Structure 1
Amino acid sequence: WEPFNPKSLLDRLEYELDCRTRKAKSEGKASEEVMAVRQEVGGFCRDAALKARGLFSLTVPTGGGKTLASLLFALHHADHHNKSAKENKRFRRIIVVIPFLSIIQQTAKEFRDLFEFDEANKGRVVLEHHSQVEDEPVSTAKNKDKEKAEASYDSISERRRLAAENWDAPIVVTTSVQFFESLFSRRPAKARKLHNIAQSIIIFDEIQTLPPLMLQPILNALSELANPDRRYGCSMVFCTATQPALGKSEDLPVGLEGVWPIVSQKKARQHFELLKRVKYQWPEEGESISWEELAGTVLQQDVQQALIVVNTRKAARDLHQAFREQLGSDADGLFHLSTWMMPAHRLEVLGEVKRRLDRENQKKGRERCILVSTQCIEAGVDVDFPTVWRAFGPYDSIVQAAGRCNRNGLIKNREDAIVRIFHPKDSKPPKGLYGTAIAQTQLLRRMGLAVPENPDSFTDYFRLLYQLSVPDECGIQRARSRLHFKEVDEMFEFIDDNTFSVLIQDETVDGEERPTKAKSVYESACSRAVSQKGKGYLTRDEWREIQPFILNLSKHTNSEQKEAIKWEKIRPAFDQDSSLFVWDGVYQGGLCGVGIDFNGPIPAERMIL
C-alpha cells in the first residue's frame, strides 16, 4: 500500500471538488440552493478539522454532499495534526464505515476513481473490505479438507487475505458489521486488524442505523477509542441527514459526551429550511389504500415517474404484481428492487432507472419509470424522482425515502414534488424493533413533532425510540467488565443474521433461460478435488467473482414456508456441510424481473429488507 499522505490525497480531493462544482453549475445538474449548501458544508468541514481529536457529528440534508464532505474533513484533520505530531502519534489512515452493502461498493468505487486514477496508484490507496469481497476460507466443512485446499492458494492470495484483515491501506471502506465485530470478537482473524484502528479517523455513514439493542457496548467502545486520556488516538465523524440522539441524556444515560457538531444546530436548521424541496402528504386517521388503488392512482398521473417504497419484500412483490396486472402487455418502464434480487441484477435495474431519470434524456420526453422497492433504495442511492410514495414506517426511513424526491432541487416549486406517506390495506407492518419504530413515529405525529424540515425532529424521534428499545441492563457490558470475552463474542450480534447464501446460476430473461457469469466459475470450482471424500472449492478470486450473483434467504422457516420455497430446489454447493447453496429453481432476471421465484405462496418474513 501507499504510505498515508493526507496532504497529497487532500490536494487531489480539493481539485476534484472544484471540477465537480464548476461542471454542476455549467450543466445545471443541481439547483443553486443545493450547490450553496454543499459549498458551505465544505467550509465548515475545513474549519472544524483544526480542532483537537475527538468526536464530531455532521448533519447534512439529503443531497448535500455529506460523503465527500466527511472525507474532506478527515483529510484536513489528518494533515493539520500530522504536521506537529510525533511519528507514533500521527494519523495513519481513514476508515469509512457504511451500514449497507448496497452503497459500500459505489462509495469504494467513487474513492478509487478519485485517488487511484493512474496506474501508479491503482490498487494502492483504497481497500474495500466486506462480506462480498472478503477472502473467505474454502467452502468445505471438514477442517482437514480445508487445510488441504488452503494449501493450494498462492502467496499473492495469502497476501491479499492478510491485507484485508489487517486494514493496512490509507483508506479503508468497510461495513458496520466488520468494524464492530472486530471490536467485540475474540477470534484472531477478526482481532488482527484492531491495532490498525488506533490513530485512525473513522467516518460513520448513516449513523442512525446503529442497532438500539447494541448501543451500550457500541457507544462505550467508541468513547474509549476517542478518549484523549487513552493512547488510541482516534477521531470519529457521525454522518447522516437524520442525526440520532446519541448524546448522554436522561433518555440515554450511556450516550456519548463531548460530540462537536461540524455544522452547528442553527446552521443545520437553515440548511434544511433552504433545501425544502418536497411537500409531505401524511395520511388521515384511519385512511388506507390497497395495492390496486395505489397502482391505479400512479398510472393516472400525466408523468408516470414515481418511486414507491414499502416495508417488506413480500409487499414489494404484491404491489409490483398489481401494477403488472393493470399495465397488461404494456409494462415497459415498470421496475422492482429488493434483496430477493442478486446484487448484479439490482445494479442492472438501477442503471436503467437512472438513465430514464437523467436530465439529458428527459429533454427528449419523459419515459415511464415506476420503481417498486424495499428500503434498499433509501440510503445513499442517487436517484431523483418527481414523486415518492412511502408506506408508513420509521420516521428516519420516511425522510430517507423523501431524499430520493427532487434530490437535486430542479423542480422549483416544491408543491410539485410530492412525498406521499400511506397505510397499506394489504400488508401488516413488521413486528419487533421495526414495529416499535413505526409506533414511535405515530406518536411523534400525534405530538405534532414530525416536521422533517426541522433537524430537531430527528432528536425527538430517536429519544422516543431509545426510551423503549435501549435496554437498561446489558449482558455484554457485564461480560466485558469480567473479561469474559467468549461470552462477549457469543452475545454481540450486530444484525440478526439468520440467513444462508444462495448462488444463482441461471436466470430467465424475456422467457429464455440463460446462464449468469457465476455459472462457469462454479462449474470449474466443482471439478477440483479436495479429498477422497469430496470435491469442490472456490479460490478467493473466484469467491469475489461470484458475489454479485449471491443472495441471502432467511433460515426462519415453518412447514408452510418450506413448501413455498420448494427446498428440493436448493442444494449445497459442494457437500452437505457447505455454507454456500445453489438455487436450481426459477430466477426472473432482466429489467422486468423480480428475482427469485418461489413458485408458490411467498414465505412470511422475519427480514424486512
Structure 2
Amino acid sequence: MRYIAHIRESDRQCQTVKEHLLEVKQLAEAYGAKLGVAHIAGLSGLLHDMGKLTEAFLNYITEAVNHPDAPPKRGSVDHSTAGGKLLFKRLHTGPIDINKAVLAEVVGNAIISHHSYLQDFLNQELESDYLQRVRDKSLDEYEQAEQRFFDQVMSEEEFQDYVNCAAAELEAYLEKEPSVSHEHKLMFLTKFIFSALIDADRTNTRVFEENKPEEPECDSEHLFARYYDRLMDKIRSFEEQNNADSPIHRLRREMSEQCDRFALRPPGIYTLSIPTGGGKTLASLRYALNHAKIYGQKRIIYVVPYTTIIEQNAAEVRRILRDDEHILEHHSNVVDDADDSDEAQDGMMTTQQKWRLAKDNWDSPVIFTTMVQFLNTFYAKGSRNIRRLHNLCNAVIIFDEVQKVPVPCVSLFNQALNFLKAYGRSSLVLCTATQPTLEYVKHKLDIHTEAEMIDNLDQVIEAFKRVEIVDQATMEPFDNERLAEFIADRLEDVRSVLVILNTKSVVRKLYDRLKITAGDIPLYHLSTSMCAAHRNEILEKVREHLRNRDKIICVSTQLIEAGVDVSFECVIRSLAGLDSIAQAAGRCNRHGEHELRHVYVIDHTEENLSRLPEIKAGRHISKKLLLDLRRDPAFHGGHLLSAQAMERYFNDLYTEFQSKLSYRVPSLGMDMIQLLTANKLDNTFFQDYCSKHGARLPLVLANSYYSAAEHFRVIDDRTTSVLVPHGDKGKSIIAELNGESRMADITRLLRSAQQFTINLYEHELRQLDHNNGLESCLDGKVLVLREGAYNDEFGLDLDNDSRFDLSIY
C-alpha cells in the first residue's frame, strides 16, 4: 500500500511517505554538513514523519482532501511522535551506549517537536515532556509503522549503519572545545538539528506543493567576487574626486585597506571600531566580501539594532553592488507562530499551511536584519525563528552598533557568537565606535586577543573629532516648555536642530508643542510608531532640507542615532547611556562640513523611564561621569567620549546589572543559562525531581528548552507586528493578503510587508481593538491597522476614528 505524506492542492498528486522522508533526509544532510553533523541532521529528516506510515493517517489525509468542508477532527492522528519513540526504544533502553542515548535525546526531541517547538527534558512541574511522548505515550499502529519503515524506507541493517555514522559525528562534535561543557554543546546542537529539520521539511513540502524544481543554490563564490569588483570600482571612484587627498579621505582609505588586509585572517570574532564618519559601512563590506571569497562563506549578514538602519544600509549596499535580487531585508516576523502547533493540519493545504511553508529561512546571499531577530533565532519560541539558525553558519556576520545588545541578553549573545565561531565556522565582526566590554562578563565572549581591525585607534578618533559635548544636564532641569525655548535659541545660530528624547510619548508632546511655536520652520517627527517605509520617506525629506541648508527641526526617539546618515548643525540629546550620547553625536556635523559643533546633553524631567531600566541606569552612570568631569576636566581621558570613559561606562553598567546578564526568569527562580545549559548538579528542577520521584531522571539531558523559550523576550514587553495601510503600497499588500494567494505570492508579500509593519504592545492592541482600529488577514495570522488608526504625520494613532470606519481591505 502507498502511504501518503502530502496531496497536492492543484492536481491531487500524492507524495509518498517514503519520498518525503528520503528527500527531507537529503536536504537535512546538506544543512548538517555545515557543522560536520550530516548524519545526525539526516536522521531527524529520515524519521520525522514515520508516524504517517499508518492506516489512520492515510484515512485522515484522504478524508481531509476529499471532504474539505467537513474534514476529520483535527489532532486525531499524532504522526510526529513515532520517530522519536523508535530512537528511544532502540537506543535508550536495555544496555545503553551513552553516546547513542544522547543521540536519541537530541534527534528525538527535534522529531517530536517539529510541528511546535523543542520540548522540555524536564519542566517546572518536575515532569519530562520528552519522556511522556517517546516513552509513555501509547500510539496506535506504532509497531506496524516501525515495520513499514524498515520494509519501505530503509532496511534495518542500513539504518543501523546510518545510526553508527551519526553517533561517530556526535562523538567528534563533543570532543571539540574541551573547555566548553557538554550541556552547552548539546543545547546548541539540538537547536541546530531542529533548525535543519524544520527548514528541510518545509522546503521539501513547499517544492512539492508548487510542483516545480527548487531554485538552485546561489553560487555565492562567484557572486561575492563580482560584488567585490563592483565595490572596488566604487572605492576607486572616490580617489578621483577633488578632495581625495584631504587628511580625512586618506585616513578613510587607509582604514578601508586595513579591513581588506584583515580579511586574510581565519574566521573568528573581531572588532571594527571606526568612528562616525569613517566609512564604516563600506569598510565592513570590503572585509566581508574579501573574507567570504577567501574562506568560502555562503552569506553576509548585517545585524543592526533598529529597523531604520536596515533601510539605509541596505539601500547603500544595493547601489554599490547593483543588485536587488540577492539582498534581503528582514525587519520582523509579519506572522507570529510562537504559540502554534500545526500537526493537525499537516497534509491539508490550508491558508495557515501556506504561510508556514512560505520561504522565510534567510537563504539569501546578503541579509539585513535586527538584533531582536538574531537573538530570537537562537532563543525564542516559534519554528519560524529557529528555522533560520543553520543559515548563520558558514557566514560573515557584522553586528553594526553592537553596543546596543540588551543588557539581559549579554550572556546569551556571547554564547551564540562563541558557538558560531567554534562550530559554525562563521566570522563575527563587532562593529561600533563604542565597543562594549563583552569579554569581561561572567559568560564572556571568546574574542581574539588581537581582535581590532584598525591600527592606532586613539589617533583615528582624534582625527575624526567633529563635535564638543556641552553639559547642560548638571546645570538645569528641562521640561518641554524649556526645551522649546532652548531650541529657538539654538536656531538663532544654526540652521538645523535634531532633538533626541528617550520616550515616544515625550517626543510626540514636544512635536505638538513645536507645531505651535516653530512657525514656518519645517518640523518632522520620527519614532517606531511609524512603519519603516514611512520613516524612510520622512528621512528623505529631512535630508533634502539639510542638503539645501534650510532651517529645520527634527524630533526623534533614539532610532535615529545608530547608523542613520543625517548631519545636523546642532544636536540636543536627553541624558541616557554614554553609548547613546556618542551615537547621537554622530548625527552632528557628521561629514565635517563645519568647524566643531555642539551636542547638548540635557536632563529631561518629563520622561518616565520606569519601564526602561537600562536607559534609566545608563542615564545615572552618564550623569556621574559628567559630574566627575565637572569636578576635574582631566578625568576619564579628558572628555566624555574617550575610550577610557566608554570602558568605565560599560564596566559600571554590567556591574550594576550583573545578576541580570544571563536573563533572569524570576517566576522560575533561575536564569536562562541555567534553563538551557545547567548540568544536573546545578539544575534545581533535577534536584527536586529526584526528591519527588525518589529516583534520578532517566535521561542524560535535563534542560528546559520550551520553558526557556516561553519566557524569552529580547525586550521586556512582548510586542506584536501589525501591518499598516501606509501609502498605496501598504494598502495594496493588505488587499493581496486578503485575497486568494498562491504560496509563492505569500512568500513575496510577506517579504514586502516588512517595510509596512510596526510593533505594538499589549495595551496598544487592546485600545485599538476597543476603538475598532484592528482587523486581520491570512486567517487571522496577520493583524492590520485600519486607515483611521494610522496618521501620515506621526504613524500610529491610538485616538483614532476607526470605530466609524467600516471599510474592509
Say whether the fold is shared (TM-score over 0.5).
Answer: yes
Unaligned runs of 5+ in 1: 83-89, 507-514, 531-537, 601-609
Task: Give the alignment partner of residue 298 of structure 2, picking from 76, 82, 92.
Answer: 92
Deviations 1:62-117 (A, max 9, x none): 1111122112122233334x3xxxxxxx4333222222111112222322333344
Task: Give the alignment partner of residue 12 of structure 1, picking from 210, 230, 248.
Answer: 230
1:211 corresponds to 2:434: no
SS of the counterpart of 1:203?
strand
Greater RCO (CA < 8 Å, at least 6 residues apart): 1
Residue number in structure 1 paired with 2:543 = 354
Residue number in structure 1 paired with 2:676 = 480
For the 8 Å contact 1:136–1:540, the answer to whether it is kept is: no
Residue number in structure 2 paired with 1:256 = 446
Residue 432 of structure 1 aligns with an amino acid whose one-letter code is P
Note the C-alpha offset of 1:420: 0.7
Unaligned runs of 5+ in 2: 1-216, 630-635, 665-670, 678-701, 801-809
Within a 5 Å distance, the mapping from 1:196-345 to structure 2 comes to: 196-227=391-422, 231-248=423-440, 252=442, 254-263=444-453, 267-283=456-472, 285=474, 287-300=476-489, 301-327=492-518, 330-345=519-534
For the 8 Å contact 2:724–2:785, the answer to whether it is kept is: yes
Query: Hey, what's the Cα distance between the residues in 1 that align with 2:442 and 2:284?
Result: 26
For the 8 Å contact 1:386–1:406, the answer to whether it is kept is: yes
Residues 260 and 142 from structure 1, CA distance in 2 versus in 1: closer, same or farther, beyond 3 angstroms? Answer: same
Identical counterparts, % of pairs: 30
For the 8 Å contact 2:331–2:754, the answer to whether it is kept is: no
Note the C-alpha offset of 1:270: 0.8
Query: Hey, what's the Cα distance between the residues in 2 that align with 1:142 and 1:91?
Result: 34
Residues 554 and 168 from structure 1, CA distance in 2 versus in 1: closer, same or farther, beyond 3 angstroms? Answer: closer
Normalized per residue, the structure richer in helix is: 2
Residues 205 and 446 from structure 1, CA distance in 2 versus in 1: closer, same or farther, beyond 3 angstroms? Answer: same
Residue number in structure 2 paired with 1:567 = 770
Residues 50 and 298 from structure 1, CA distance in 2 versus in 1: closer, same or farther, beyond 3 angstroms? Answer: same
1:454 corresponds to 2:642: yes
Residue 195 of structure 1 aligns with an amino acid whose one-letter code is H
For the 8 Å contact 1:307–1:389, the answer to whether it is kept is: yes
SS of the counterpart of 1:573?
strand
Query: Hey, what's the Cα distance between the residues in 2 that align with 1:496 and 1:239?
Result: 25
Residue 776 of structure 2 aligns with an amino acid whose one-letter code is A
Deviations 1:335-364 (A, max 9, x none): 111112232221221111101111xx3xxx
Residues 556 and 487 from structure 1, CA distance in 2 versus in 1: closer, same or farther, beyond 3 angstroms? Answer: same
SS of the counterpart of 1:293?
helix
Residue number in structure 2 paired with 1:75 = 289
Task: Give the alignment partner of residue 111 of structure 1, picking from 291, 295, 317.
Answer: 317
Residue 506 of structure 2 aligns with an amino acid whose one-letter code is A
Note the C-alpha offset of 1:453: 4.2
Residue number in structure 1 paired with 2:626 = 445
Residue number in structure 2 paired with 1:594 = 794
1:552 corresponds to 2:764: no
Q: Which moved more, 1:179-188 or 1:206-215?
A: 179-188
Note the C-alpha offset of 1:334: 1.0
SS of the counterpart of 2:652?
helix
Residue 734 of structure 2 aligns with an amino acid whose one-letter code is Y
1:34 corresponds to 2:248: yes
1:436 corresponds to 2:654: no
Deviations 1:369-408 (A, max 9, x none): 1101111110111001111111111111111011000000
Residue 104 of structure 1 aligns with an amino acid whose one-letter code is I
Residue 227 of structure 2 aligns with an amino acid whose one-letter code is L
SS of the counterpart of 1:131?
coil
Query: Hey, what's the Cα distance between the residues in 2 that align with 1:190 and 1:219?
Result: 19
Structural RMSD (CA): 3.5
Residue number in structure 2 paired with 1:465 = 653
Note the C-alpha offset of 1:314: 0.9
Residue number in structure 2 paired with 1:395 = 578
For the 8 Å contact 1:340–1:551, the answer to whether it is kept is: yes
Task: Give the alignment partner of residue 731 of structure 2, picking from 505, 514, 519.
Answer: 519
Note the C-alpha offset of 1:504: 3.6
Note the C-alpha offset of 1:239: 0.3
Residues 254 and 77 from structure 1, CA distance in 2 versus in 1: closer, same or farther, beyond 3 angstroms? Answer: same
SS of the counterpart of 1:214?
helix
Note the C-alpha offset of 1:544: 3.9
Query: Hey, what's the Cα distance between the residues in 1 that align with 2:449 and 2:281?
Result: 19
Residue number in structure 1 paired with 2:788 = 585
Residue number in structure 1 paired with 2:746 = 539
Residue number in structure 1 paired with 2:558 = 375
For the 8 Å contact 2:415–2:443, the answer to whether it is kept is: no
SS of the counterpart of 2:240?
helix
For the 8 Å contact 2:302–2:369, the answer to whether it is kept is: yes
Residue number in structure 2 paired with 1:535 = none
Query: Hey, what's the Cα distance between the residues in 1 that align with 2:749 and 2:716?
Result: 27
Q: Which moved more, 1:181-190 or 1:465-474?
A: 181-190
1:182 corresponds to 2:394: no
Residue 463 of structure 1 aligns with an amino acid whose one-letter code is N
Residues 104 and 422 from structure 1, CA distance in 2 versus in 1: closer, same or farther, beyond 3 angstroms? Answer: same
Note the C-alpha offset of 1:456: 3.0
Residue 442 of structure 1 aligns with an amino acid whose one-letter code is K
Residues 539 and 22 from structure 1, CA distance in 2 versus in 1: closer, same or farther, beyond 3 angstroms? Answer: same
Q: What TM-score do you get using the length of structure 2 for normalisation?
A: 0.61
Deviations 1:254-290 (A, max 9, x none): 34342533345x7111111111101110125351223
